[in-house]
Amino acid sequence: MRLLLVEDEEKLARLIKRALASERFSVDVAHTGREGLELANNYDYDLLILDLQLPELSGGEILRRVRRVNSNVPVLIVTARDAIAEKVMQFEAGADDYLTKPFVMAELLVRVKSLLRRGTGRRENVLRVSNLELDRLTQQVRRGGRIIDLTAKEYSLLEYLMANSDRALSRSMILDHVWDQGFRGATNIVDVYVRHLRSKIGDEDQKLIRTMRGVGYSIREET
Amino acid sequence: MNVRSIRFRLGAWYAGLLALLLILFGVFVYVTLERVLERNLQETLTKEAQTIGDALLSKIRQTGDAYVIDEIEEHFAPRTNSHFLRVTREDGSVLYQSGHPHDESFDPAAVAASRAGDPVAWHEENAPGTGKLFVYSMTYTDSIGTRYAIQAGASNKPIRTVLNQLLVSLAVALPLIIGVAIGGGILLMRNALKPLRDISDAAAKITSRNLNERLPKVHTGDDIEQLTASLNRMMSRLEESFQHVQRFSADVAHEVRTPLAILQAELEALLDRPELNTESRNAVSSALEEAGRLSLIAEQLLEMTRLEAGEMLSTASRIDLADVTRGTVDQMRLLSDDKQIRMTYEGEEEVPVLGDPIRLRQIVVNLIDNAIKYTRPGGTISVSSGTAHGNGFLEISDSGVGIPQEAIPHVFERFYRVDGARSRQLGGTGLGLAIVKSICAAFGGTVTVQSVPGTGTTFRVELPLESNAPANSGFTQKYPS
């Protein structure tokens, strides 16, 4: 998979490139709009990541020019501008997703993968992490064969964690997926739910849900 | 009535001027009429005296005294006409003197006599009762030199009667005319001021949310057109500076967010290094947490800027506040249970308000989160929603620590903390209540607080019911281009 990243902040570009590379993507980086458009026109990329405020040519302009000749390539906008009007305008111009700075790198990775149709995490009907099992059809959760009774929110939280297992998920990502943006003011709702979930799935003895301090949570097999 | 209003002042000036003009006109008519009538009377009297001389006395030798007297009586009928006539011979004896007039306006005997040879003269005498007697005196000399004094007089009573009638007519007509004129003037002014009122109504409809609208152009070529054009120019300047502010905050956001993104990404990358020892890992994690908080503050500040700019209203639709509240209470119950706080909800079946589900949820979440933070274990939080006085309301009461009286006016200010150290420890950005207030204001509502320290606090949010909300269907979101 070959990706094009157009970002004028060299530091940020380097960090994004490193994170994407660690997921085995090959990434070309352009620091100006003109350079970005040239690369986008000359190579067949699988995905474009565009900043909006760029020297020479804005990200929005690149998007419009690329869309004239190529309507298929997925485009992720990464920008500090987040007025609703701005978002609507970019979506109308053909953007597929929109991520506001600052963001957690894990979130960028999740979105990139989802745009590349690797899906939002795992697609199977039965998700497994170690001896924890979640059946999306019957909405049943078992650990070591024992059925665990969860509330609707606890189930959604666990499903989101398991669908993105081995990946660090930030609190705001969890909030936005399991609750909605309206809950951002609730300081510790994610932490409290995770704590309850942990005790229900018997995580005291065999830890599956890890706290990623400063980031959020992740579910993974013990190593 | 507002005495300082332009309508009242214009009307008062207009009525005053009209009254003054009408009074001047009345005086002019009165004086003119008086002079005309008096001159007519004098001409009549002069003619009578001359006629007596020329037509009768000239032939007195042939006709005799008695004939002359008869002729005067018959021709001039002084008694019926209330005229005074007297003819005196050269020796002072009276040839003829008219009798008492039928209206008794004067006493003929009392009128001062003139002598033959006196020059032509006018004099006035006070008649008994009211009024005056005008008397014309002349000397007639016949062909052989015999002289007679002739006097003709008349009371001014008929003139006075006419003039009095005029006065009465004026006294009745003047107020009537002024009254009609004022009434007409008010109507006229209402019509004349209508374009002004239209402009004012149209201008009142323009707020920060539809600054791109302009007053309808008029082509009257007068002050109204000028006023409209000036107002439109002013609004263009306002819109420009408004957009400038919005651009500025977008730029600031960009300038703050990009370094934050780099900071966060660098720290995350650092955290992935396996060679990091525990101490360093904790330090990096802590820095990452603070970077996250800084991001949240930047995000919330920007969101408030946008709320204040009215951007949110474009997404407003009919939302059931009771449903949002009920659902949020359920979803946050775990948080209150966790702290052994009893949280209850009661409310009406449906409370339809105009809003945006995410923003309304944010209100409920921020207030409940706040209540949980400041209520001790074992306390209670009661949440209710309903309708009252055309508004939908949401009330959240806790049995918490309360807010000191002097802090109450400030709790909705950005970054205000009642007890700085303690509340910072509890987390949050210090913007929660400020955001609640901004959201309420953005949707035309209010938020108020009542608190008794040590007993508890009640926050009450009121939002216009969807059916009562100001129409905003005409508002269209303007995209920057």
Q: Which pair of tokens denotes residue B272? A: 């992935």
Provide the sign of the torsion angle of the four alpha carbons A29, A31, A33, A35, taken in this order. Answer: negative
Residue of higher predicted confidence among B420 and A28: A28
Residue showing tokens 């929005």 = A60
pLDDT, residue B118, reads 83
Residue of higher predicted confidence among B474 and A208: A208
Q: What is the DSSP string of A175-209?
A: HHHHS-GGGGG-TTHHHHHHHHHHHHTTTTTS--E
Q: How far apart are CA A110 and CA A116, in angstroms?
A: 10
Q: How far apart are CA A90 and CA A82, in angstroms?
A: 11
Chain A residue numbers touching B428 (CB-CB < 8 A): 185, 187
Query: Is the pLDDT score of B407 beyond 60?
Result: yes
Chain B residue numbers touching A213 (CB-CB < 8 A): 281-282, 285-286, 288-289
pLDDT, residue A118, reads 55
pLDDT by residue (tens digit) across B436-454? Answer: 998 998 888 999 999 999 8
- How far away is chain A from the Cα of B417, in angstroms, using its nearest Cα? 16
Mean pLDDT of the B367-387 span? 93
Q: For chain B, how big is the Rg over CA atoms in Å?
A: 51
| Interface with A, mutate which of B362, B443, B475 (most A CBs under 10 A) | B362
pLDDT, residue A211, reads 87
Q: Pick A102's closest partner by Cβ from B257, B285, B358.
A: B257
Q: Which pair of tokens denotes residue B399? A: 């049995």
Chain A residue numbers touching B262 (CB-CB < 8 A): 9, 11-12, 15
Please tell me the least confidently modeled range out of B127-136, B211-220, B421-430, B463-472: B421-430
pLDDT, residue B472, reads 44
Residue showing tokens 């005008």 = B134
Q: How far apart are CA A60 and CA B312, in angstroms?
A: 23
Where does the pLDDT of residue B274 fall: very low under 50, low under 70, confident under 90, or very high at 90 and above?
A: confident
pLDDT, residue B476, reads 35
pLDDT by residue (tens digit) across B49-96? Answer: 999 888 888 888 888 888 888 888 888 888 888 888 999 988 888 888
pLDDT, residue B469, reads 52
pLDDT, residue B241, reads 81
Where does the pLDDT of residue A142 fall: very low under 50, low under 70, confident under 90, or very high at 90 and above?
A: very high
Chain B residue numbers touching A85 (CB-CB < 8 A): 311, 477-480
Q: Determine, for residues B265 and A181 on separate chains, whether the beta-carbon distance falls below 8 Å.
A: no
Share of chain B above pLDDT 70, in %: 92
Cis peptide before B216 (omega within 30 of 0): no
| Interface with A, mutate which of B257, B281, B447 (most A CBs under 10 A) | B257
Q: For chain A, how big is the Rg over CA atoms in Å?
A: 20
pLDDT, residue A90, reads 86
Chain A residue numbers touching B253 (CB-CB < 8 A): 80-82
Mean pLDDT of the B386-391 span? 90
Q: Pick A214's closest partner by Cβ from B255, B262, B292.
A: B292
Percent helix, strand and coil across chain B, each to the nearest 5: 55, 15, 25
The DSSP H or E segment spanning A49 is: strand A47-50
Mean pLDDT of the A134-156 span? 90
Mean pLDDT of the B440-469 span? 89
Q: How far apart are CA A26 and CA B225, in angstroms?
A: 65
Share of chain A above pLDDT 70, in %: 96
β-pairing, A47-50 vs A75-79, is parallel
Type of residue at B306:
R
β-pairing, B352-355 vs B317-320, is antiparallel
Q: How far apart are CA B290 and CA B288, in angstroms?
A: 5
pLDDT, residue B423, reads 57
Question: 115-144 in B: which are within 8 Å (CB) of A?
Answer: none
Chain A residue numbers touching B281 (CB-CB < 8 A): 213
Question: 160-179 in B: which are within 8 Å (CB) of A?
Answer: none
Q: Which pair of tokens denotes residue A32? A: 């100006």
Where does the pLDDT of residue A193 fall: very low under 50, low under 70, confident under 90, or very high at 90 and above?
A: very high
Please tell me the least confidently modeled range out of A135-139, B92-96, B212-216: B212-216
Tell me the three state secondary structure of residue B444. coil
**Is B374 within 8 Å of B457 (Cβ atoms)?**
yes
Query: Is the pLDDT score of B475 beyond 70?
Result: no
Burial group, residue B389, by CB count within 10 angstroms (0-12, 13-18, 19+) = exposed
pLDDT, residue B303, reads 79
Q: What residues does B124 pair with on adjacent strands?
A: B134
